Each structure stands twice: as structure tokens, then as C-alpha cells.
Amino acid sequence: MRQVKIYDTTLRDGTQAEDFNLSLWDKIRVAQKLAYLGVHYIEGGWPGSNPKDLGFFEEIRNYDLGSTRVAAFGSTHHKDKEPEHDSNLQELLLSRAPVLTLFGKSSIFQVKEILQTTLERNLELITNSLAYLKPKVEELLYDAEHFFDAVKEDRDYALKTLEAALQGGADMLVLCDTNGGTLTSELVEIIKAVKKRFPKVPLGIHAHNDSEMAVANSLMAVQLGCSQVQGTINGVGERCGNANLCSIIPNLSLKMGMESLPPEKIKRLTEVSRFVYELANIRPNRYQPFVGRSAFAHKGGIHAAAVKRNPKAYEHINPQEVGNTRNIPVSDLSGRGNIILWAKDRGIDFEAYDKKTVKRALDKIKDMESQGFLFEGAEASLELLLRASVGQYKEYFRLMNYRIIDQKVGEDDPPVPEATIRVRVGHHEVHTAALGNGPVNALDKALKKALERFYPRLTEMRLEDYKVRVLPGKEGTGAKVRVLIESRDAHNRWGTMGVAHDIIEASWQALVDGINYKLLKDEQRLAKT
């Protein structure tokens, strides 16, 4: 089997999509999830472009991503400077990323109109930039921007830019369909021309989806010999998006016989897809191939009856191969399988319990999902639920009542929220209050204030992120909301959620799960020492 490396650029190219925003800590969590999926490269961003990306490269050094390599992205040096004096190249080196991806201009139009320099100077920029970086980095990739359009414009010059990159020491040439307008028939002819000129040079493909061809073009590029595919989870990206890795990965492995990710990792694909949607606070595309909730749904009576007899009647793969489920009653078995595998990764051995226990857990999850819960991005809430289903839940405290007062005195003065709370810990009852920057912050402070004397380690815990999504419905301002909270301490970072008509109640559910998860993990760590 020929190996194809997966290069994920969700954290860089993907974040250029409208309405797709990730905080620094969101990016760290997505990077961890991508490493869990097993992608070969994670492009963390452009360290010279903004403080968030620079912060990502500083923080990600503290995490073990296994065999997954982190890449930093940047451009060739400024036309009026030399490499050693170019701030962009210096920021790339300061990122300490083991892999650098440098892009340069392939198109005469881009060189003259956008870069506003000569064709010869552009070739110098490419060679000199790469040559300067080569001795200072483990792996150096060259991204030939606008390459396919450049070949249509002037093939000879486009190929000269690749020669310039090789002279500079590029380890791989990545051919980029930046405007996303190349048809597959055109791509075939162009890649064959590149292979003829550079028969032994490793090639990659970076396709955009403006003509709905990104996945097809990426797969065809692999058939023609490209050994690296770049894309994003769920195909997110500027304009119409990037090549969708959630379609590319299973097609490569399950249909084309290519070695990309191992089967046990591909089973995590649906989980990772929904995790990214949830952290970005975007409603998942249920009709998305392979990983969408409707990808294996059979509503039509004839179809459903046929699938019950033999799933191959209307399914091109077994949904379990990508971690998805069949959406008809017969799918209970595949649902059990997903729960067993997920729980096993968290140290919960469902195989030691009878089938009724697993079914109760599955039914509970389905019931909660029908109410609006979505556990992608809230793994801590799901783990607590599963532990409760097998009798491993411990009640660290019990709510007696809480009250929120959000008082506004003057028209120009900000409101002053105050939370009052009564909780019981064992035989002790605590009544306390706290002010906050908002009602949820006040509630969080009051709860921790009540509990810290019993559980001092709660002082380590921080609320890192808070997201609210109004769930679909006809109730308007009375609709249900889903709250996703991200918390952290010195050891870990975790997500919890709550769903209710009342935003405070939904927030309370997520806050309680967050504290319970913290106390559970502290207890487990102490037990190991």
C-alpha cells in the first residue's frame, strides 16, 4: 500500500472562513483532537501574522502530540529585504515548529500585479527564502500558490518557480489550486507535466472548493502520485472552503487502498468532525458525507426495509468504519459499539457489564440528544454520564438552592450581578454569595467559594471559555439554549455542557459537571500516588 500523508490546516486556512472562530485554547484542543485522529501534520497558523498564532506555537510545545508534527506557515521574504532581515522569516524560526511551509508566487499575474516585482526577483525570493530556512528546520515544504492558474497562464514560468524552490532546498512541492477553479481534467494534465519535469520530487496537493472539485481533485492528485494531501476538517475555509479531509481520508483508505490513517483512527473521524463544529459554535452539516448525522439515515420505507435485510442495499460503506451510526432502529448495536470504544479510552470497561447496562447508557444519551444535548466538545459531561450508568458516580455536593440578582441602578452604570447559593457537602450546609462580571461568573464564584474549604484544589480550576447556542425551535426568546464551558487546571483541560430553556440553568448544569469532573480526576490522581 502506498502511503499518503495527511496535512491538516484547519487551524490556519480553516480559520479564514466566515463565522468560524477559534480562541487560542480552542486551537490547542483541536490540535490535541487532530493528534488523537492521527493526522501526520497540523498546521498551527502563521506566526508572523497575529499574536494568537504566535501564542499557539509557544503553548503547543507543552503537549505530547505523539507522532503528529506541527507546521508553521509563512511567505517568502519581502521583495525589498534580504532573508536574514525579514521579520516574517524570523517569526517562523521563533515558532520552533519542526516543519515550515513557505508559499511563493507561481503566476506572472500575481508577481506583477500583487507582489509588484519582476519575474526574476520573484524566483530569487523563492530560492533565497528556502535556502535561508533549510539549515534551521527539520522539514521544509514549498507551497506553490496559484500554481494551476499559473500553468494555464504561462507553463514555462510556473515550472521555473518550482525549480527555484528545489534549488532553495524544498523537501516537497505542494501544488495549490488557490482560487479553486481547476477542473479535474485540467488538473490531470498539469500534474502529469510536473511529474515529467520532476519525476523523483515528492508532491503534495492543496485544493480549494470554489468549483466543488476540491475532494475529487485531491483524490485524483493522489492517483497521479502526490504523497501528501492538505485540507481541513469539515472542509472549512475561506470563500467555499478547502478540501474536506472528512471525505478524503475514508476515500483514500477504504476505497483507494492507500495507507493514510489506520482503521482504528479512522473510526474517530465522526467524533473529530463534530468536535470541531462544536468548538467553533457552528451547527454541524447533517448531510455531510461519511460523518453527517444523515449520512446513513434511511427514511424511505423501501430503503429502510432493504437496509434491515442487508445494509449494502443503500450504504456504500459500513458507518462504523468512520465512527458514524445507521439512523434506523436496527442501529442500536452500532451505537453500543461506539459507546464501548469511547468509554474504554477513558478507563470505563463496559464489556465487564451486562448488555442492559450498555443499552441504558445508550438510551440515556439518545434521550438527552433529543433534548438538545450534543456531547462533542463536552467529553467531561459524557464521561460523568457513563460513569453514573455503571455506578461510578460520586456526589461531591448537592444543591439546596441558588438565586441570581442582576441589579442595574443608573442608566449609565453597568449591572451588578450577585449570586447567592446554598449547597450541602456531606453533613455540612454552606450558604454564601459572590459578585461577578455577569450572572454566570457570579454563580461560578459563589459555588467555588462554598466548596473550596472542602476541596482546596478547586482553587487551581479556571473557566477558560463559555459559548451559548440557541437551539432550533419556534419559541423565539423562549427557545432552549445549549451552553458549552471549557475549564482547565494545572493538569488538564475539559469541556462540559448544559441544556435548558433558562440560560442560567443551562450554565449551572455545565458548571456543576466541570467541578465534578475536576474533583473526580483529582481523586483518581491521588489514588495512583
- Mean pLDDT of the chain, nearest integer: 92
**Conformation bin of residue 155: beta by default, left when phi > 0, alpha when psi is -120 to 50:** alpha
DSSP code of 503? H
In the block, residue with C-alpha cell 521563533:
94
Q: Which domains, from first to last, does the chain contain?
A: 5-279 (3.20.20.70), 301-377 (no CATH)
Query: What is the distance between the alpha carbons of residues 218 and 246, in angstroms, rounded to a whole number?
Result: 12
pLDDT of residue 333: 41
Confidence of residue 279 (pLDDT cuts 50, 70, 90): very high
pLDDT (tens digit per residue) in 301-325: 566 667 777 888 889 999 999 999 8
The answer on pLDDT for 330 being more than 50 is no
> Could you tell me if 489 and 518 are in contact, meaning their C-beta atoms sit under 8 angstroms apart?
yes
The answer on pLDDT for 446 being more than 70 is yes
Confidence of residue 208 (pLDDT cuts 50, 70, 90): very high
The alpha-helical segments, DSSP class H, found in 74-118 are: 87-94, 108-109
Mean pLDDT of 464-480: 79
**Conformation bin of residue 257: beta by default, left when phi > 0, alpha when psi is -120 to 50:** left
What does residue 136 show for φ and ψ, rounded to 5 degrees? -105, 5
The SS3 of residue 62 is coil
pLDDT of residue 349: 87
How many angstroms separate the Cα of 404 from the Cα of each of 5, 367, 374, 440, 500?
53, 29, 27, 9, 16
Query: What is the distance between the alpha carbons of residues 203 and 518, in angstroms, rounded to a whole number?
Result: 46
Taking alpha carbons only, the member of 171, 163, 162, 3 closest to residue 71 is 171
**Conformation bin of residue 85: beta by default, left when phi > 0, alpha when psi is -120 to 50:** alpha
pTM of the model: 0.76
**Residue type, position 236, single letter:** V
Taking alpha carbons only, the member of 480, 479, 483, 472 closest to residue 508 is 483
- DSSP letters, 447-462, are HHHHHTTT-GGGGG-E
What does residue 236 show for φ and ψ, rounded to 5 degrees? -65, 150
Query: What is the distance between the alpha carbons of residues 429 and 450, in angstroms, rounded to a whole number?
Result: 9
Mean pLDDT of 481-500: 92
pLDDT of residue 337: 66
Degrees to nearest 5, angle at CA 204 with 201 and 209: 150
Query: What is the distance between the alpha carbons of residues 243 and 247, in angstroms, rounded to a whole number?
Result: 8
pLDDT of residue 405: 93
Q: Other C-beta atoms within 10 Å of 467: how many?
A: 19
Percent of the residues in the chain that have a pLDDT greater than 90, as a whole number: 75
Taking alpha carbons only, the member of 112, 113, 194 closest to residue 148 is 194
pLDDT of residue 475: 62
pLDDT (tens digit per residue) in 334-376: 466 667 767 887 888 888 888 888 888 888 888 888 888 888 7
> Could you tell me if 57 and 45 are in contact, meaning their C-beta atoms sit under 8 angstroms apart?
yes
Taking alpha carbons only, the member of 445, 447, 464, 456 closest to residue 519 is 456
The SS3 of residue 285 is coil
Taking alpha carbons only, the member of 307, 305, 351, 301 closest to residue 326 is 307
> Could you tell me if 33 and 493 are in contact, meaning their C-beta atoms sit under 8 angstroms apart?
no
How large is the greatest C-alpha to C-alpha distance in the chain, in angstroms? 82
How many residues are recorded in the chain?
529
